[in-house]
Amino acid sequence: MTRRPGMMMFFAVTALLIATLCIWFEFTPVASIADTRIPAMIAALSSLAMFAGLRSTRIGKAGVAAAMVAVMSVIVLYGLYDEEAVRFRNGDVDLAGTLILPRWGSRPHPAVVFIHGSGREVRDAFGWHAKLFARHGVAALIYDKRGAGESSGETWQGTYVDYAADAAAAIEYLRSRDDIERGCVGVFGLSEGGWVVSIVAGSIVPDVRFVIVASSTPVTPAEQVLYETGSSVAAAGFDAGAVRRAVELQRRVLQYQRSGVTDPRLEIELRDAASQAWFEAAELPDELYPIEDYEWWRGVMDFQSLPYWRRVRAPVLAISGGRDRNSDVVESQRGIAAALEEGGNGSFTGRIFPEMEHGLIEWWLPSRIPPPRFPPGFARLLVDWTRTQTACEPDPAR
């Protein structure tokens, strides 16, 4: 069968582009929502098949492109870290996750446990971050939150203390492994995970090696909701009067959720407010649900993290985004730093990325055209700071 050099070159270049895109996506937020390794490897195998089918005298540019695809895919996507499915328990709750281990470097490795934000979060939400750490010598444990993915239990029956106990179980699991440096395990909490981290490092596992919090605040969840209501209405372009009205209604909704005491006029006012242009931005409910529907929220809405932060002894890195509407990022970082200092811990590093949103991404193309990206310098900050904290002496008992 005659092979056309032009057609072979076309297929080789196409495979090269596919693999290059997949490799690029591994370094973007896409890595947290899709597994790009499979299509990249298919492209690599296709290129190798073409390479094998070409006569040695006609390898030329098509052969070189095919070889480039194979080498890039194998090294970048499979040669930098190992993935291992793991399970560990917190009492009756069985937690499933993935341990991403550096393929290179001396063992045992330092490690980090990732702690979720709100909702039924699964391990892949931290896919990019975990791979980043593993590529730089730090093992990373990501797991499905209780009640999500392959983990048992129920998300909405757990308190922040329960979530913290799950994270502590993850730390203990890592410390039991011969390939992990026992005294060199840290935690990374995102959003709601910041409240959970304060419990982990301030109470349950006080000897945790380091703490990273991102898009987190030391105010209570209820206070955060009030701030978010006001900032969202203001960001949508409405005046101070609309902001005050939205915040006041939200305050009364929170009081109902907290106390269960019916406010005869609140539902009427919410229905009236629903016709206002600012109502959607405020994310207010248009009706009040039965008080039992707020049982989980009532148990966490007034959680005070500052007493826990005052007991944290590990170095802390706090990362925030200038476009985060969930909390006052400047005051949030000041609050955590002040609480640490009150407790005698002066090891605080804070960084605000001006264009970053609550989800740690920024939109660098016009009109929010995907894919988004992590801010320039974000990855370097995580890697450099963490490697400084994980320059641990080997455990002499091992």
DSSP string, 101-112: EESSS-SSEEEE
Query: What confidence score (pLDDT) does residue 104 get?
Result: 77
Tokens of 9: 């070159």
C-alpha span between 264 and 274 (Å, rounded): 17
Q: What angle do CA 197, 200, 201 make, to 5 degrees?
A: 85
C-alpha span between 23 and 14 (Å, rounded): 14
Pick from 343, 326, 87, 108: nearest CA to 217: 326
Q: What is the pLDDT of residues 20-63, one digit of tens each?
A: 676 666 666 666 656 666 666 666 666 666 655 554 445 566 56
C-alpha span between 201 and 209 (Å, rounded): 9
Query: What confidence score (pLDDT) does residue 314 get?
Result: 98
The burial of 273, by beta-carbon neighbours within 10 Å (0-12 exposed, 13-18 middle, 19 or more buried), is given as: middle
C-alpha span between 251 and 117 (Å, rounded): 23
Query: What confidence score (pLDDT) does residue 372 get?
Result: 86
Query: What confidence score (pLDDT) does residue 346 get?
Result: 96
Between strands 139-143 and 93-102, the pairing is antiparallel
Tokens of 88: 């560990």
Query: What confidence score (pLDDT) does residue 81 get?
Result: 84
The burial of 281, by beta-carbon neighbours within 10 Å (0-12 exposed, 13-18 middle, 19 or more buried), is given as: buried
Which residues face 274 on adjacent strands? none
HSE, CB side, 13 Å, CA atoms: give it for residue 244: 3
Evaluate whether 184 touches 390 at the Cβ level (below 8 Å).
yes
Identify the segments of the chain with pLDDT beneath 50: 1-2, 55-57
**For residue 177, which amino acid is it?**
R
Query: What confidence score (pLDDT) does residue 255 get?
Result: 96
For 169-224, give the DSSP string. HHHHHHHTSTTEEEEEEEEEEETHHHHHHHHIIIII-TT-S-EEEES--SS-HHHH
